[in-house]
Structure 1
Amino acid sequence: MEHHLLDPTNLRWSSSISLTFSSCSIIPQNELTSTSSRPFFFVQSSKRYSKPVSTGLQKNPKKDLSRILRTEAAIRGIEKKSNSRKYKQLWPKAVLEALDEAIKENRSEAALKNFALLRKQQWYKPRCQTYTKLLMMLGKCRQPEEASFLFEIMLSEGLKPTVDVYTALASAYGQSGFFDKAFSTVDDMKSVIDCKPDVYTYTILISCCTKFRRFDLIERILADMSYLRIECSTVTYNTIIGGYGKAEMFEHMENSLTNMIESGSCLPDVFTLNSFIGAYGNSGQIEKMEKWYEEFQLMGTKPDIKTFNILIRSYGKAGMYKRMMSVMDFMKKRFFTPTIITYNTVIEVLGKAGEIEKMDNYFKKMKHLGLKPNSITYCSLVSAYSKAGCMEKVDSILRQVENSDIILDTPFFNCVIGAYGQAGDLERMVEVFLAMQDRKCEPDSITFATMMQAYNAQGMTEAAQQLERNMIAAKDNLAHKGEDGQNTGRVIACLCPPL
């Protein structure tokens, strides 16, 4: 079945877009036929000093661009060669830059392929630092099995694991919820000479525990640290406080702050402040949020831009719009420059409140200040316009992003698909779905659930059921595909030394 965009004057992204799940048709056949005036946070202002303009040598932007383009071309060339077995004398800088780039972007498949290519080079020498970076990346990508296999490869190369390597391996297990293996890794460290776990190791473990709400393990970790005479750092306490705050375990959060102060070696900082006011603000306890803001002020902790963003969001969520605007005014008077996060927060709050005109004014002001809107900005705008029934403004948003270089993501397209679906404009909904592919955005379960809801709302139950069947069939096809090299397990297998 062939699909065409129905109104190229409004949406010119593509006229022949292949679906993500190419094995079957995703779109059903019949779709295309149819309180106080003076806020509490006022403090004494400090002088703002301007920096002198440098008159030294200036970089040539054309040369910088040329260097960047050459580097990117070299990286692309290396990644293409990573699938071959014959390249053994490649330029070291290009190979290492390609590997670093993939690690920074958490592209595990590309990173492991590039590392396999690195190990084939005649000039290759194994280094613990390289393995540490790869293990940390695999932890972020939640691939503990691959991390374990990579660790075995490192041992086979005769390297002695360092504290950083063991910590990265424990982190890889912990970030996937494999706490037995994470604690076992730490126990292994204790038996290795000059490789004892340190405060950073335990802080990483605590961070993993808070993410999975395994607060029962924190006392065990602290007891282990006490036995080894390892003192908590400020980062350790902030990790614990932040975890309790997000879980709304306020008593434990405050007790941890008391322990932090009584330790005598760690003082609360702006991260502690933000955790406290964020926890109480998110839970709607505005009075306690303001109380703790004042307490930290008395302790000499100064706020930063994130602090004010938290205050703006908290007041907006509580419907205290005057207080929210007071924070904006305060920032302006005290020379705090609002960020894209600040404006995104204000736009979102005003949009949810139905204040379309005020929201538009802040959107215009943001652009006048040179702040570039992102996908989050446009999501908030589309949601607000959809809720207010201003679908012509949703069309306008699509025209704005049409030829821009803004990186759009799946949540943005889901938002637009939802807007047209709720408005009953199924043809436009399909256009946007097809346009996702041109922007390299993969549809997810929310995408299909939103579309099926729109079909059902229009009484097209058969179309909704057909879409669900096609989606399941497409997922099964991708799961059994296996021939396109997308399986990370196969990729890491190529790291084994050749027989």
Structure 2
Amino acid sequence: MEIQSLLAATPTLPPPRLRPTLKMVRPNVLCRWRDSENRALARKIILQWKQDRGFDQKNSDAACAALVQALSRKRMPHLAQELLLEMKSEGFLPGTSTLSALMLCYAGNGLIQQAQAIWEEIINSSFVPSIQIVSELFDAYGKMEQFDDVAKIVDQVSSRDFNLLPEVYSLAISCFGKGGQLELMENTLKKMVSRGYIIDSSTGNAFIRYYSIFGSLREMENAYGRLKRSRLLLEKEGIRAISFAYIKERKFYKLGEFLRDVGLARTNVGNLLWNLLLLSYAANFKMKSLQREFVRMVEAGFHPDLNTFNIRSLAFSRMSLLWDLHLSLEHMRHEQISPDLVTYGCFVDAYIDKGLGRNLNFALNKMNLDDSPLLLTDPFVFEVLGKGDFQSSSEAFLEFKSPREWNYRKLIAVYLKKQCRRDQIFWNY
């Protein structure tokens, strides 16, 4: 019998709860295996191991680590511990790979105290943990909201002055931020700066993102001000995060101020800044300002993309500006940009709302109705302007059948039939 067969014959236990308490030091689900059974199975595995590949210190550390990882996936940390004890009795001294695997096995299965004990054994020895191991450990602790233990690990690494300390600080900031622990994230950043380490762009932008998600607008704005003073460049994800925070609060004027402050002339983020600015005007249907900024965008040397056109088309459709819709479509064709489901929906909704359903072919003949439907518009657009009736109806159909089975012609035909029936039901009453 091979080792994998032995593992396959062992039942996989359910995962531990993600909100641990002190009682989770010995989870009930892990008590199904008695120590004697664990010990017997561990001996069988070692015996089979000797028969299969031999057993020596040089080659067994990586193989043992892989075996512990397999046991971790099967939710059997106690068996992993018994296996290690049996191997020690055979004269095997666990290396950094085996100890790291066992530590992550404990952490991933809710055995926090045991994981912490292995961690202290690692850092008190001559072993230096890799940054990948620290990252996985922080992820496991973060999922179980053991943020105090993460802070303790950072302090331990700091007291030993390992070379990986700057990266550990960055990982801790990310871990605290994902968990909404803004105070811990702030304190870690201050410690990092006090030790003379430079905040890189990735850490600074992550700091902004988490403040935009979990903090107030004022806290987010203060964090952005600090990023500017540090002369770090706000990257694409940071711009999106701050913009989304303003959009959630419907602060479109502040959104426009922020975008201008970042700099509309920046080309390394594509059309993102301009599209968000156009969206801030479309939100309140300030059509003259929308058109003026669109002209400025083109004059600045930026080429409109699908999001640019769909932001304008949605505003034109809601305001029933059919002529502007047609001009926008002509401009799209000139820029060689193919319309998506949102673009088609703008025309269908606008003509239906104006009671011009019979004239819809005038617009649709300029579009390829035999294309498979695609939705390529940035979700930010829907956060501000919502979805049109045709788009919402079509997405419901596409949930049940593959887009390859549909084309725009079929979707529009089904939608028009649905509208016709709805009108007939109305008049019957």
Could you tell me the TM-score, scaled by structure 1's length? Answer: 0.42
TM-score, length of structure 2 as denominator length: 0.48
